Chain A
Amino acid sequence: MKHVYTWTGILLVTLASVVGDVLIARAMKQVGDVHHLWRSAGVWTVVGRVLKNRLFFLGLFAMAAAFFSLLFALSWGDVSLVVPATSSLSFIGTTFAAKLFLHEKVDHRRWIAALLVASGVALLAG
């Protein structure tokens, strides 16, 4: 039963962090290139555009949800399982989500990179 709780926690954390990253990425694409915007209109225009963006706050909310569900998952399962599992699953999940929802062209190089990083993170945090 403890197993079920732990893996539910891991999946919740992963889901929330993938959603958060995708929403923030979409929000920042809507805001536009920060370098150009900063140079042409000043830093407060950048800040204003970010704060006016609804997706940014949804993303922030999802990231907060990921953080708090990580705290719960850590109280259900061992750190040495929860941390590597959530961070590598998030890598794979984000790659899928970016392809699906952000229409990024994920070629072989990027897939291999995502898999290498995910397995490396699993080893490092384990």
Chain B
Amino acid sequence: MTFRKYLVLAGVTIFGACGDSLLSYGMRQTGNVSLHHLGSVVTAVLNPWVALGIVLLLCFFASWMTALSWADLTYALPATSLGYVVLALIARFALHERVSPWRWLGIVLISSGVSLVAGGPALTSHKRHDHTVEPAESDPVSSARSAAS
């Protein structure tokens, strides 16, 4: 794992959490969207918070796909689940919602899961599905690491 790869994982986490909270903040201003009033979808998308949230979620999807190009699904999924924690912290400190003791326990459980997996090897499936592409792991540090484990 290089610094740049950790940066991509951080991007998945931050973009996802910020995009979701911007979306819910904006949707609270615009009100409910229903299939019967399709005009309300347009109003919602024109709200600047919702629009910014959608842009951030597109960034989230791009960095998620980048991460999956060099990491296992079973690595990337827990490693980026800190987003739930960021989301709860945003809810607590920016949106001033109450966070119950059970939710704090949830935060602790997620964080310990993330710390378990994040230090380990990112890629274990060496079976290539397409032989025309170059090897996924060609930087010496991470190949040595995945070979050692």
Contact of A50 with B138 in the complex, beta carbons under 8 Å = no
Minimum CB–CB distance from A108 to chain B (whole Å) comes to: 10
- Band of interface residues on A: 35 or more
Minimum CB–CB distance from B65 to chain A (whole Å) comes to: 5
The verdict on A24 contacting chain B, using a C-beta distance below 8 Å, is: yes
Given A28-B65, A110-B117, residue A119 in contact with residue B109 (CB < 8 A) = yes
Contact of B102 with A126 in the complex, beta carbons under 8 Å = yes
Contact of A120 with B113 in the complex, beta carbons under 8 Å = yes
**Which chain A residue shows the least CB distance to B72?**
A104
Contact of A32 among B124, B127, B133 (CB under 8 A): B133
B-contacting residues, A1-54, CB 8 Å: 21-22, 24-26, 28-37, 40, 50
Instruction: Convert B12-50 into 0s and 1s, putting 1 for each residue whose CB lies closer than 8 angstroms to a CB of A.
Output: 000000000000000000000000000000000000000
- Band of interface residues on B: 35 or more
Contact of B109 with A29 in the complex, beta carbons under 8 Å = no
Please report the C-alpha to C-alpha distance between residue A125 and residue B84 in the assembled complex, in whole angstroms: 9
Residues of A within 8 A of B (CB): 21-22, 24-26, 28-37, 40, 50, 91, 94-95, 98-99, 102-106, 109-110, 112-117, 119-126
Other A-B pairs, 10, CB within 8 Å; known A32-B136, A109-B117: A24-B64, A32-B130, A32-B133, A34-B69, A36-B134, A104-B74, A113-B114, A117-B114, A120-B109, A124-B106
